[in-house]
Structure 1
Amino acid sequence: ALELVELIETVFIPHYQGHAKNYAWLEQCILFKLKHQASMNISELVSRYLSKIEKSEHLQISREILKILFEREPSNAVIKAQAIVYKRSQIYTSAIEKFEYYFEHCSYQETLYFDYLECLIMRKNVIYNQEKGEFGDLQYAVYLLCSIDDAKDRALQGNLLNRAITALLPEDVIATRPEDTNFLADMGRGLNSFSKGVGTFFGGRDSQIPYSEGIIASAPKLLKNKKIVECLNQNQKAQKELEKILSDQGLKVGVGLTASAYSLGLIWDYAHIDPSVLDALSFASKGNPENLNTLQDISANTLDSAGAVTRLTGYVAEQQVALNLQQQGHTVEFPDSANQAGYDLIVDGTPMQVKCSMDADYVLSHFDKYSDIPVIVNSELAEQLGNHPMVLVDTTLSYEAVQETTGVGLEQVSDFADVGDMLPIPLLTIGLAAYRNYGDFNSGKVDGEQYLKNVGKETAAIAGGAMTGSMLLGALAGLATGGVGVIVASGIGAYMGGVAGSTGANSMNREALCNQRDIVVKLLIEFAAWFNENLLVHRTNVLFKQLQSFETHMLNNADRIITFSTLLIYQHEAYMRAYHLNQWILHKLQKGNEMEKVQAGWVAIDESSNFISVDLQPKINEINRQLEIYRELAKPDSAQPNRTHQLKPA
């Protein structure tokens, strides 16, 4: 039999390589000799055949060969081959064990390490290793992938990270990613655009404003902050670890709050206002007044000083506005200096001042020195200043509540003997809740214990981002209203009322209609370029910096992988959405035809509601105005003499 095996190896396999590969002649010969040959040089066999066994398509027999080799003469080379074959066999647990053993005894090899990480991603165990913690395979893979600083194959690293994050994200978040457009539909749009281009070349003119649901659906969509907070608060495993973090630190939470009141949504929102929240779940930002890093400091240093209380009320107002803006999905940054002249916040790249006052003239005096910097004011000034073009009204910011918060809230905090070791969080969350519930306590409707419970519930609701709807009123809140609002929501057909420009208009005013169409098209393309350069690029850059911060904190907290990796995957998704939208618009504007460029305009208008800018609403208004002229021209009776003077494009 051994002579026949030798004949197969030396004669048949070289002459019948196809059959040999298909029917595992070499593998069967090796296995037979391992089982029946009395003496065999294992080292020579490994040196000669191990790489072929690794690559063999006959995985079961390969595993059997490697098992015998490992039992006879274990070596790192055999262990590596076992790991590779187990991975190819989709036996991921065995592959992971072999990889980990190999890494403990051999130098780092990037290709093998990425194979190992792919096994973790494919296995998807809820708990990677009970002895090491409650985190799962996917969270561990995210942690390890982010730990690689100098990967040679960064494309593969990014691909694996995206796969791990996609597997961790909820299905309803994945569902909001861009749609894959149908190939035939894409080809049809291309032919239609080509035919119109040919018509224009031969002297024809197009009167229809380009609108393609398919192209628009293919555009990346920004991830809404409200959705992120909702998903974070529903993540029970991460919430459980967060509560354990607070309990393990032995920190008490203020004003009757328990660790469970601190939702992951709370940490998410505050971390975007100030990353130092992630350091110790505290709120000591560069904009904080000195020596006011804890509520104990605040109560000790400000209650007896009218000037300090005034300064602190301004600070409380700024923090509440920052939180409200963050909850609405805007990027909020504080200036480097706490005493920055002219503005308190940078919102979506635009410097803004916060004024919490009952004096409208005091607010308006700001424009005497800083006419180009918008102001965000409290709700009490909505009637007086709501129509001012440079004023935004935060409907949740109350002058009365802020004043009472600073006084009553601090008095309540100062009454607790153990305030010194309680966990500090932003004053506004505790203070507003304490103020709103203090009336019932003071009047005797509820006792002290129930009062603290009520404060805790309300604080958790506020901190968790439970508010819904828009909280900003004013001309700067860039909402896609009017004609563009109808179009981005329901399509151009809904706006036109079923009247197509090329068929509805009479031949007498067709030239005017084509001219007006060109005006609208030009405005849409210009808006896409302006939106991308002035708003989206800044949002993308800020999200990337925040992603780096989240990654750093995750890597510095290996014992808290669940909490920090959960925060990181949503930050990564938010950043990638913004980055891909930026690249999508750029590609359409630089490489696309006119139709595709206009679709970039519609997409930019749709996403513009997520931003605040001094220049945003005027641009939207101008597009709306020109659209209305176009719609009037497209009506069948628009060429009547008594209406012609109204329809001349501006």
Structure 2
Amino acid sequence: MLPTKILKLRLARIAKGEGHLSTQDKLMLVSMESPDLSANFFLRLFKVSLPKQWTFQHETDEELLYISQLIQLIENEFIPSYESHARKYAWYEQCLMYKLNFLVPQPTQQQINTYLRQLDRCLDQQPKIDLLHYLQEKYPSAKHAVALAKAYAGVEQYTQAIEQHEWASQQSIQRSEIAFYAYIECLVNRRQSEYMPYVSDIEYAIDLLSKFEKPIDQKTYLKTLQAAVNALLPPVILQTQAIETNILADVGRGLSSLGKSLGGMLGGREFHLPYSKEVIANAPQLLTDHLVCVGLAESSAMQNAVLRIFNNHEIEQVEPLLMRLWLALQQDIEMLGLLIEPKQRDQLLLYLSKFEIKPNSVMSVEPIQMILEQGINAYLGDFRLDKQHPERNDLYEQRDIVVNEMTTFALEFQKNILEPYLVNKRQCLQQLQSRLLGQLDEIALSSGLLAYQFETEQRAQDLFDWMQEKLEKGHDFEKMQAAWVALREVIHLDIANIEERLAPIQHALERYKDIRLHQVFLKQEMNETVPLKESEM
């Protein structure tokens, strides 16, 4: 650091030549013993280096005066100009530490608020944490504690962050919603197996979220709850969640389908059946009861909670008992009353002991199932078609029949099957949230049930929204993907007489395949079929 007398002269020169000196010139004047302001760009590349650590003198009043001017220059001009370097090496934190020690030892609350706003822009690292810790120790408040908690979370010190959040909550009559979500995020990220006896961080986080009434920021609430639920659910459930498709691929498919639609409007006709394995695979999937039961079989926390609830009964197998509880609640959510009230648990246990778990059965619907599992080419065959075939028009017409049948089914599925299913799952979720609220002493069980119910409802909502978007776009390609997904989902649901409704689609597909096979192009010299090119499907 420059001696005070030299620093004084350099600062005076900067003040005098304010309009003529660049920021780099000023930095050279206050950081170099022999700055060469006439050096060209390339010379400066080798001579000028940005400071990492500022050294501030503080023995005399004169030093305090000129260091305060230097700090003002650093904060107002150097930090904005060299933001990345300044953040990395904590320039602002160095300046603030000096000010608190020697210039403003008793800051007002207004000054502290300014410091907090500036620190919020700094990187979460030790100098920032030290300053926030100093402010919290000397001027304890909920606001300071939350700021410190945020910094701790930024460096993944979640236990310290949780402690600060909880202290802040105790000081506040009404906790900030933003701070509450930050606290939940810390619990989810820490993931300790025991926050309190028999309750993990994740289970406690879901319990708190379920009790949080009337969130203002509904979007953040749902995002936070989804993160907590994802942290609780086992991989067997998570791996069936929808995946966002590549936006460029979506645009490409959209342009392709638009081009084909325009071709049809201009007189051209389509003969292929729109089918995208990627779109179908990445579409939202319903969370079936069978898959939930697979997840419950892996949840030792929920199973142990069930054992504690029925602690005065001999239970030979807790795993099927937990599954029966879930299935019974899906059939009649009013069964919650028997679970909540200890005196009625004997009745619940008797009911569950007689409850029959139906084996998982997927309706066999050929050729639909084959297409969904193996792809459209596995069913139709990978052949080139004769574009000049005299019965080509039959193929066009049958293709339109298939598209019409499937699109009609997709619309019926969304309105008559998916929408009532969604309403039912939403009501179950609302009942769970309201009736389990502080009523069940086993948080591991209540949070687990809520997590699975939330995931079930959310997937139904996601599928409903996804299908609505596809069906409203108007292109055959989008509508057909919605239809394929509807067929994929309906075979897992227990829907009365669904085979009869799918029969016209099966017949239309078989007829389309038959017509198509009669129009395979044959090479005369080899008398064999030629593999189909993608552009000729």
Query: Which TM-score tier does this pair reach, normalised by the shorter chain?
Result: 0.7 to 0.9
Corresponding residue of 1:118: 185
The reply to whether residue 530 of structure 1 matches residue 412 of structure 2 is yes
How many Å separate the matches in 1 of 2:341 and 2:90? 65
Query: In structure 2, what is the Cα distance between the partners aligned to 1:559 and 1:77?
Result: 32
Aligned to 2:349: 425
Deviation at 1:520, TM superposition (A): 1.0
Question: Which amino acid in the other structure matches residue 78 of structure 2?
Answer: Y
**Counterpart among 477, 481, 485 of residue 599 in structure 1:** 481
Are 2:386 and 2:520, in contact at CA under 8 Å, matched by a contact in 1? no
| Correspondence for 2:123 | 57
Distance 2:165 2:258 in 1: 55
2: CA distance, partners of 1:260 / 1:604: 35
Amino acid corresponding to residue 244 of structure 1 in structure 2? R
Task: Tell me how far apart the structure 1 counterparts of residues 481 and 434 of structure 2 sit (CA, whole Å).
Answer: 38
CA contact (8 A) 2:398 2:512 kept: yes
Q: Which moved more, 1:70-79 or 1:83-92?
A: 70-79
Cα distance change on mapping 1:79 and 1:481 into 2, 3 Å: closer
Give the secondary structure class of the aligned counterpart of 2:391. Answer: helix
Contact 2:234 2:298 in 1 (8 A): no
**Counterpart among 145, 166, 169 of residue 209 in structure 2:** 145
Aligned partners of 1:13 and 1:20 also within 8 Å: no
Residue of 161, 169, 175 corresponding to 1:103: 169
The aligned runs of 1:243-262 (5 Å cut-off) are 243-247=307-311, 250=312, 252=313, 257=315, 260=318
1:615 CA drift (Å): 5.5
C-alpha contact (below 8 Å) 2:199/2:444 kept by paired residues? yes
Question: Among 297, 305, 317, which residue is 1:233 paired with?
Answer: 297
Which of 38, 41, 54 matches 2:106? Answer: 41
Q: Distance in 2 between matches of 1:568 and 1:165?
A: 9
Cα pair 1:506 1:636 within 8 Å, conserved: no
Cα 1:199/1:123, change in 2 over 3 Å? same
Distance (whole Å) between structure 2 residues aligned to residue 637 and residue 53 of structure 1: 73
**1:277 corresponds to:** 335
Give the 3 Å change call, closer, same or farther, for CA 78–603 of structure 1 in structure 2.
closer
Matched ranges for 1:155-174 at <5 A: 155-174=219-238
Shift of residue 543 of structure 1?
0.8
Q: Which amino acid aligns with 2:328?
A: Y
Aligned-residue RMSD, C-alpha: 3.0
AA of the residue aligned to 2:140:
P
Partner amino acid, structure 1, of 2:188 = I
Cα distance, 1:565–1:609 mapped onto 2, change above 3 Å:
same
Distance of aligned partners of 1:638 and 1:122 in 2 relative to their CA distance in 1, 3 Å threshold:
closer
- 1:222 and 1:135 mapped to 2: Cα distance? 29
5 Å matches for 1:343-422? Answer: 422=346
Alpha-carbon distance between aligned partners in 2 of 1:177 and 1:612, rounded to the nearest angstrom: 21
- Matches of 1:621 and 1:515, distance apart in 2: 19
AA aligned to 1:527 is F
Q: What is the SS of the residue equivalent to 2:367?
A: helix
SS of the equivalent of 2:399 reads: helix
Is the 8 Å Cα contact of residues 274 and 481 (structure 2) preserved in structure 1? Answer: yes
CA distance in 1, matches of 2:360, 2:183: 45
* Cα distance change, pair 18–196 in 1 and its aligned pair in 2 (3 A): same
The 3-state SS of whatever aligns with 2:471 is: helix
* Alpha-carbon offset, residue 64 of structure 1: 1.2
- Structure 1 counterpart of 2:327, which letter? D
Quickly say closer, same or farther: Cα 1:69–1:180, change in 2 above 3 A.
closer
Return the letter of the residue paired with 1:229: C
| Alignment CA distance shift 1:505-1:620 (3 Å) | farther
Q: Structure 2 counterpart of 1:587, which letter?
A: E
For the 8 Å contact 2:152–2:161, the answer to whether it is kept is: yes
Contact 1:121/1:164 (8 A) holds in 2? yes
Specify whether residues 426 and 41 from structure 1 end up closer, same or farther in structure 2 by C-alpha distance, changes over 3 A only. Answer: same
Q: C-alpha offsets along residues 199-245 of structure 1, whole Å, 9 cap, x if unaligned?
A: 32332211112111122112111112112112213211221121111
Q: For residue 176 of structure 1, report the CA deviation from its aligned partner.
A: 1.0
**Conserved? CA contact 1:207–1:514, under 8 Å:** yes
| Residues 199/557 of structure 1: CA separation in 2 closer, same or farther (3 Å cut) | same
Of residues 66, 71, 77 in structure 2, which corresponds to 1:9? 71
Match of 2:381 among 453, 474, 497: 497
Which residue does the alignment assign to 2:137? 71
Contact 1:5 1:29 in 2 (8 A): no
> TM-score, with normalisation over the residues of structure 2?
0.77
With over 3 angstroms needed to count, the CA separation of the structure-2 counterparts of 1:49 and 1:617, relative to structure 1, is: same
1:193 and 2:257 aligned: yes
Corresponding position: 1:485 with 2:376 = no
Residue 116 of structure 1 aligns with an amino acid whose one-letter code is Y
Q: In structure 2, what is the Cα distance between the partners aligned to 1:47 and 1:484? A: 64
Does the C-alpha gap of structure 1 residues 188 and 110 become closer, same or farther in structure 2, counting only changes over 3 Å? closer
The one-letter code sitting in structure 1 at the alignment partner of 2:442 is R
Taking the aligned partners of 1:481 and 1:73, their CA distance within structure 2 comes to 70
Secondary structure of 1:29 counterpart? helix
**Separation in 1 of the partners of 2:106 and 2:187?**
36
1:405-554 pair list within 5 angstroms: 422-426=346-350, 429-430=353-354, 465=357, 468-470=359-361, 479=363, 481-499=365-383, 503=385, 507-554=389-436
The residue identity in structure 2 corresponding to 1:120 is L
How is 1:563-582 mapped onto 2 (pairs within 5 angstroms)?
563-582=445-464
Contact 1:505 1:633 in 2 (8 A): no
Q: Among residues 184, 194, 217, which one is paired with 1:127 in the alignment?
A: 194
- What is the TM-score normalised by the length of structure 1? 0.64
Give unmatched runs, 5+ long, in structure 2: 1-56, 59-63, 522-537
Amino acid at match of 2:202: L
Report SS of the residue matched to 2:243: coil
**Compared CA separation, residues 548 and 8, structure 1 to 2 (3 A):** same
Note closer, same or farther for the CA distance 1:637–1:76 as it changes in structure 2 (3 Å cut).
closer
SS at match of 2:442: helix
Q: Taking structure 1 as reference, are residues 16 and 516 closer, same or farther at Cα in structure 2, changes over 3 Å only?
A: same
Over residues 392-443 of structure 1, what are the superposed CA-to-partner deviations in whole Å (9 max), with x where a residue is unaligned? Answer: xxxxxxxxxxxxxxxxxxxxxxxxxxxxx9555355845xxxxxxxxxxxxx
Cα distance 1:58–1:122, how it changes in 2: closer, same or farther (>3 A)?
Answer: closer
Matched, 1:217 2:281: yes
Q: Is the 8 A contact 2:124 2:154 kept in 1?
A: no
**Which residue identity lines up with residue 481 of structure 1 in the other structure?**
V
Q: Aligned partners of 2:261, 2:220: CA distance in 1, in Å?
A: 41
Instruction: Say if 1:283 and 1:536 are closer, same or farther in 2 by CA, change over 3 A.
Output: farther
> What's the CA shift for 1:261?
7.3
For 1:554 and 1:82, the matched residues in 2 are separated by: 34
Provide closer, same or farther for how the CA distance between residues 58 and 235 of structure 1 changes in structure 2, counting only shifts above 3 A. closer
Instruction: Tell me, yes or no, if the aligned pair for 2:273 and 2:399 is still in contact at 8 Å.
Output: yes
Aligned length: 453
